[in-house]
Every structure is written in C-alpha cells, then in structure tokens.
Chain A
C-alpha cells in the first residue's frame, strides 16, 4: 500500500495550480495548451479513482456474457470478435446492457460533460 496523497489527489492539485497560477498569465497559444493539460489531469484524477471498481464490474459482466473466466482485455477482445462474427448481437440477453454500462463508465472518465452522456444519466 502506497502512502497518501493518492495519484488522483495529486493530479487534481496540479490541475488546480495550473488553473489558478498559470492560466491567467498565459498568452493564447500557451493558454490553450495549458487548458488541454488541465483537462488531461482531471481525466487522470477521475480514472484512477474509479478504474478498479469499473474494471471489476466490466469483467464480471463479460464473464456472465461469455460464460467463462478470463482477464479483462482478453474477454473484451473475445466479445468484440463475437460481435464482428455475428455470434452475439443486440438480441443476445445482456449484451445491450453491457455495452451501455461500459460506455457510460468510459464517458464518466473521458468526457462527463458530453451532452449525450448528461442526457443518458439524467434518464436513470
């Protein structure tokens, strides 16, 4: 077990520093690059604080869909292959639910302000 602060806390602290101390003093081009860097640090903070739980949940759904154990990346690749081959499709029980859950978990990290994502989580 590593000591605190967590990577998420550190990334957020760097993002805050850039926002408060750097951004107001930068010219257009550097301000743009710095905003991108802040967004990336915020993404890191979101991902590191949720990934263990979402990976485990995704893996459990894949085991149920594919009916065998395995590592997440291998199970995901197998699902992709079976969809490509037409062996599994939207009529397969649980497939649509799995794709939706996995995609919403990605958006929560990648782009939580994306309008489609906001609309879908408001639906819940």
Chain B
C-alpha cells in the first residue's frame, strides 16, 4: 500500500500525463479540451477526449487500465487488442485507427489511443432505429466479410493469443454451471445435445471471441468498426459466426437470427464468398446452441456472485435472465409446431 501511494505521488496526474502523450504523438494537437470517462469496470476504462490545436479539433478514445492492474488470465491484453485492431485495418477491415500504444515511461497505465469512430454501438438502436434502416440491409454481409478478414489474419504476425478448443471451453462451461446452479433440466438437455454434436477441431484461426451486435459501431452505411477484442483467441472460426446469431444479441429482432439483422443462410454465403471458408448450417447451429448456453452460464455465474458483490440487486437480476437462454435453447432444440 505504501509503495503504491508513493508511486502515485511520483507519477504525473493522469490528465496531465495523457495531455503530454497526445501532444507528443498526435500532430497538430496542442491541448486536451474534453476528457470524460465513458464506461468500464474497475479493470478497464474507456475515456473520450478531444485534442485541439492548429489541426482543429480531433476526437479520440483511450482504452486504459491502471498500471497496478494485474493482467487477467485468458484475456487479451490492451496491447494485444491494439495489435489486432491494427492488423484488421491493414487487412482492409473496418477497424478504428490506433494512434499510439501507451509505454511504461508515459506513466499513465497501460492501454492505447485511437481516433473516435462516428456511429452507434448500442444494439437496440442499430436493430430498431429508422436511422439504420439502410445499414440493416447491408450489415449481414459486411459482418461476414469482416469475420472472414479476421479469421484470415496471420497469427505469426500477432502477439501470442490463447488457444481455445470447443471441448475445453465446453468442459469449463459445464463445470461452472454445475458449481453455481441448481439443476436445470433445459440446460442438461442442451449439454447432452452439445456433447453429441461436438464438431471435429479444425486448424486454429484467429477468432474475435465476442463478435456480436453491441460490440461494433454502425453508421448509416453499415459496419464502421469492430470493437471489444479482449476475448480474442486462436480457435474455431465458426464459433464467432454462431455467437453473432445467439438470440440474446438480436435486441428484440428475433426473426433475424444474424444479430437482429439478417438470415443465417445469407451470413454463411457472404462469409464463404469473402474467403472465410465453408461453414454448414449444422455447424452454425452447434455454435448457436453453444453460445446460448454459454450466455446462460455467464448469467448464472453473475447471479451466484451477487451477494458478495457491491451491486447485489443488479447481478441477481442478471441471474434471473438465465431463463431467457432456456427458452431460446428450447426454441432451437425443441421448437413447438
């Protein structure tokens, strides 16, 4: 504790340190005009800032974790996220322009600075608002193309990524469910079905890990930028396609399986056409069931932690959303006629 306090006194204030970094690395910026924290938990912060100077005003985003924050096991570091964003952009994909990766000598923690991307990330608005009516007609194929680009990134040119197999992740998911939940017959049905339909493990590809509506920015023309790479890993690319189709991310647009936007067949056709490879409807169904159960188990986990957390009501209510995934599992595995 003593050392930490000392380090903090020694370090420049966060705002001053950030202003110095921006002045140094962004041409034409002389000072910071607005700096505000957008969101994020204790471990990762997102800041919005505007730099002003001879080049006019420039809106930027900083993703940051305090230097004292230990890295989270199995999650990509902020430096790795920045490398993935740059790699996707170089490959011609929709990705924010990463301006700078923080260095230890900057003394304002870990993270990276990028240009602000205009548009909307809230899934509910993308799926429902009139402003995105045209975007919705093109997003399914644009998302497929972005995924094909991501899955074709060369992992040897990236920082090391965690390797994830379907069997390992399935075993972890089942263990977590058994630890935290009372018996749930619908979840048992899904677990048995998944065990019986486990696909052969393909050669691992770069996978985003959390590719869904809510984790990209859309504008009137469609897909503007892919965000939220912290679950990036090496694994089965079909997992990303299935996760995108999980009903929890359709924001009410339940008759449009691809993120509340389009048809599964169109997603797979556009993905193959963009060079992603052939994924069958059966494989997609496996990963959609897998993803639905996965979100259910995550809800169970949050509900189980509620009473030990500083927001017990909120987490308890997330726990009570597990039944949403049960009805979606039944709609997939035992549809009523």
Interface digits, B309-326 against A, CB 8 Å rule (1 contact, 0 not)? 001011011001101101
List B residues 277-334 near A (Cβ within 8 Å): 311, 313-314, 316-317, 320-321, 323-324, 326-328, 330-331, 333-334
B200 on the A face (CB < 8 A): no
Known A100-B334, A106-B326, A116-B247; contact A76-B321, beta-carbon cutoff 8 A? no
Interface digits, A10-40 against B, CB 8 Å rule (1 contact, 0 not)? 0000000000000000000000010011011
Is chain A's binding surface mostly helix, strand, loop or mixed?
A: helix
Indicate if the CB atoms of A110 and B192 lie closer than 8 Å: no
Known A80-B183, A103-B186; contact A114-B192, beta-carbon cutoff 8 A? no
Size category of the A interface is 20 to 34
B336 on the A face (CB < 8 A): yes
Indicate if the CB atoms of A40 and B317 lie closer than 8 Å: yes
Inside 8 A of B311's CB, which chain A residues have their CB?
33
Inside 8 A of B330's CB, which chain A residues have their CB?
99-100, 103
Which of B185, B317, B328, B334 is in CB contact (< 8 Å) with A36? B317
Indicate if the CB atoms of B316 and A110 lie closer than 8 Å: no
Inside 8 A of B182's CB, which chain A residues have their CB?
73, 76-77
Indicate if the CB atoms of A40 and B188 lie closer than 8 Å: no
Inside 8 A of B328's CB, which chain A residues have their CB?
116
Question: Separation in Å of the A122 CB from the closest CB of chain B?
Answer: 12
The CA-CA distance from A106 to B250 in the complex, in Å, is 21
Indicate if the CB atoms of A99 and B334 lie closer than 8 Å: yes
Indicate if the CB atoms of A40 and B316 lie closer than 8 Å: yes
Indicate if the CB atoms of A116 and B324 lie closer than 8 Å: yes
Tell me which of A1-9, A48-56, A81-89 binds B: A81-89
B252 on the A face (CB < 8 A): yes
Question: Separation in Å of the A76 CB from the closest CB of chain B?
Answer: 6
Nearest residue (CB) in A for B174 is A84
List B residues 247-278 near A (Cβ within 8 Å): 247, 250, 252-254
On B, residues with C-beta under 8 Å from A are: 182-189, 191-192, 247, 250, 252-254, 311, 313-314, 316-317, 320-321, 323-324, 326-328, 330-331, 333-334, 336
On A, residues with C-beta under 8 Å from B are: 33, 36-37, 39-40, 43, 73, 76-77, 79-81, 83-84, 86, 89-90, 96, 99-100, 102-104, 106-107, 110-111, 114-117, 119-120, 123
Given contacts A33-B313, A36-B314, A77-B183, 14 further A-B contacts (CB under 8 A): A76-B182, A76-B183, A76-B185, A80-B184, A83-B185, A84-B188, A86-B192, A89-B192, A99-B185, A107-B323, A111-B320, A111-B323, A115-B250, A120-B336
